[in-house]
Amino acid sequence: MQTITEPGLRRGRKPHISTTVELPIPPSVNALWFNAPGRGRVRTDEYRAWLKEAGWLLKEQRVVRIPGTVGLQLLVGIPKRRRRDLDNTLKPLGDLLQSNGIVRNDNDIVEVFAKWERTVRPGFVRLTLRQVLEPEKRMSAEGRRRVSAKARELQAWYRREREAAAQELGAEPISPQYALARARARHGLLQDKSNAGT
């Protein structure tokens, strides 16, 4: 299932591609490769069969390429005998996405969330991919705190402007548009006085 998520009510956020697909769970990492004399490490028959089956399922569900850095969510169906590690599913899925052109390279996967999920059929994994911001471009925790503090400061200033406008007009209701126009007018007047003083 292919979806394009719009930024919605949050301004300044670009649309991003998000897609969800359900695939058979890949073989365990220990069953992916074997050492062949004179050939080195070779994919096992089990791994090649899984790559072929899962690749056809990607084509059937028309999963398109996701450019840039990618985040993965893995919801893995709980098997009857849970004897494998959850993170064993990650490496073969990354190889599958790269070999089918869904991601440019599996090192473009910069976020991973995985858990056992009882709503997913045993023996299957529900995989959600979405575009995410590159780690180097993300705002730090300190930066987020500063932006939040500035937003609270602006909200308080806007609330004071509305209260001041209400006092000027008595008990009449004050619309946000009027308060904003008044604030802009006052701001422009203060700038004119400041320029005149210089």
Closest C-alpha to 182, from 163, 196, 195: 163
Closest C-alpha to 104, from 56, 71, 63, 70: 70
* Residues 40 and 53 grouped into a single domain: yes
User: Into how many domains does the chain fold?
Assistant: 2
| Domain boundary pick from 107, 137, 167 | 137
* Residues 100 and 71 grouped into a single domain: yes
Q: Residue 147 is part of which domain span?
A: 141-197
Longest dimension (CA), the chain: 92
* Residues 39 and 67 grouped into a single domain: yes
Q: How many CB atoms lie within 10 A of CB 87?
A: 11
* Residues 111 and 132 grouped into a single domain: yes
Supply the DSSP symbol for 136: G
* Residues 44 and 64 grouped into a single domain: yes
pLDDT of the chain, 198 residues: tens digit per residue: 444 444 443 454 555 788 899 999 998 877 788 787 877 788 888 989 999 999 999 999 888 888 889 999 999 998 877 667 888 888 899 999 999 999 998 888 989 999 999 999 998 999 999 988 877 666 666 766 777 777 788 888 777 777 777 776 665 555 666 666 666 666 554 444 445 555
The CATH number that applies at residue 111 is 3.30.1330.70
